[in-house]
């Protein structure tokens, strides 16, 4: 997200579809059986899918400042099993948190056409995530009708969250590499009397141009998420692990492989189609929590 900037007056619109699967429970790095989870809770989560439709708009105010806005529509679904071996599914969906960012170029080496190494760029992202996503989703469960859904089934954070990132990109004539570290900070409690944990991420990638129309990329991404502070009083922490704020911190490392297809830049516009698949390499969960599984995104970018 926000790994590139634009030149003065340049617009870019993007749409991305993301799919994430979580499957099975874990505590630390140990996998848990359903019976082990049900020894402490009335209900055990089995698996979860999350789908996101993401819409983005970027505009180059100057060569050194790009503005970026993002919106999303999120759909979540989680399967559960009870101590009585009854299985049930919970779904929630709605608009996600909207984000507004400024991307400031703080270093630009310029383009050296005479060298194999074309140049380096560093930019700083500063922004805010707005609480447009719901934190009070409800559904019918075996515990009763119209029950408040646990933390991972809510759509937004419910708080104004500062966003910060630093990106470095180095370009060679037929390949490129980059590094980005980012964080989402949560200082304030939402209307439900809790706040989600801070998130700290770092990602490094290499991309190789195959020809003028295609490139391949490999990426590694590490992320630390702190636990939820405070408590939604409507949730029963003995019912299901997802209703416990102190069972929400996690450390993840994932690998990604991507393919980008370009329509070479015409006089007025350019198009890019990107597909990326991800898979977990390492995860330490303060559990029981559901394990991250595979994920993929498919996205289209159009710029003028
Ligand atoms: Cu862009």
Residue 152: predicted pLDDT: 97
Alpha-carbon distances of 141 from 54, 93, 144, 146, 245, rounded to whole Å: 29, 16, 5, 7, 20
CA dist 130 and 162 (Å) reads: 9
pTM above 0.85, yes or no: yes
Going from the Cα of 25 to the center of ligand 1, the distance in angstroms, rounded, reads 37
Domains with residue ranges and CATH for the chain = 11-303 (2.40.160.40)
Going from the Cα of 148 to the center of ligand 1, the distance in angstroms, rounded, reads 38
Residue 2: predicted pLDDT: 87
Q: Tens digit of pLDDT for each residue in 163-219?
A: 999 999 999 989 999 999 999 999 999 999 999 999 999 999 999 999 888 999 999
The tokens describing 46, both together, are 């089995």
* pLDDT over threshold 90, residue 82: yes
Going from the Cα of 63 to the center of ligand 1, the distance in angstroms, rounded, reads 13
C-beta separation of 222 from 191 below 8 A: no
Residue 265: predicted pLDDT: 66
Going from the Cα of 104 to the center of ligand 1, the distance in angstroms, rounded, reads 13
Per DSSP, the residues of 35-81 read HHHHTT-SEEEEEEEEEEEEEEEEEEEETTEEEEEEEEEEEEEEEEE
Going from the Cα of 304 to the center of ligand 1, the distance in angstroms, rounded, reads 10
Residue 208: predicted pLDDT: 96
Going from the Cα of 249 to the center of ligand 1, the distance in angstroms, rounded, reads 32
Q: Tens digit of pLDDT for each residue in 14-43?
A: 999 999 999 999 999 999 999 999 999 999
Alpha-carbon distances of 145 from 36, 139, 192, 242, rounded to whole Å: 27, 7, 19, 18
Going from the Cα of 57 to the center of ligand 1, the distance in angstroms, rounded, reads 7
């Amino acid at each position: 997200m926000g790994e590139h900037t634009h030149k003065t007056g340049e617009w870019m619109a993007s749409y991305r579809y993301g799919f994430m699967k979580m499957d099975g429970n874990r505590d630390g790095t140990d996998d848990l059986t359903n019976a082990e989870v049900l020894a402490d809770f009335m209900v055990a989560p089995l698996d979860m899918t999350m789908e996101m439709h993401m819409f983005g708009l970027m505009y180059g105010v100057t060569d050194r400042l790009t503005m970026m806005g993002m919106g999303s529509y999120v759909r979540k679904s989680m399967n559960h099993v009870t101590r009585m071996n009854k299985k049930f599914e919970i779904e929630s969906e709605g608009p996600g948190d909207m984000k507004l960012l400024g991307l400031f170029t703080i270093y630009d080496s310029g383009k050296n056409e005479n060298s194999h190494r074309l140049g380096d760029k560093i930019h700083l992202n500063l922004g805010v995530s707005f609480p447009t996503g719901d934190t009070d989703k409800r559904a019918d469960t075996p515990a009763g009708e119209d029950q408040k859904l646990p933390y991972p089934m809510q759509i937004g954070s419910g708080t104004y969250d500062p966003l910060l990132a630093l990106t470095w990109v180095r370009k060679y004539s037929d390949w490129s590499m980059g590094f980005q570290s980012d964080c989402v900070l949560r200082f304030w409690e939402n209307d439900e009397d809790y706040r989600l944990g801070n998130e700290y991420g770092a990602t490094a990638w290499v991309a190789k141009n195959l020809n003028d129309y295609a490139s391949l990329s490999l990426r590694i991404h590490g992320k630390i998420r702190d636990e939820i502070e405070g408590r939604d009083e409507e949730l029963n922490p003995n019912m299901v692990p997802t209703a416990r704020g102190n069972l929400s911190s996690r450390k993840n490392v994932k690998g990604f492989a991507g393919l980008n297809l370009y329509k070479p830049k015409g006089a007025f516009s350019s198009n890019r189609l990107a597909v990326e698949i991800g898979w977990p390499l390492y995860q330490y969960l303060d559990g029981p929590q559901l394990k991250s599984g595979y994920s993929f995104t498919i996205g289209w970018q159009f710029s003028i």
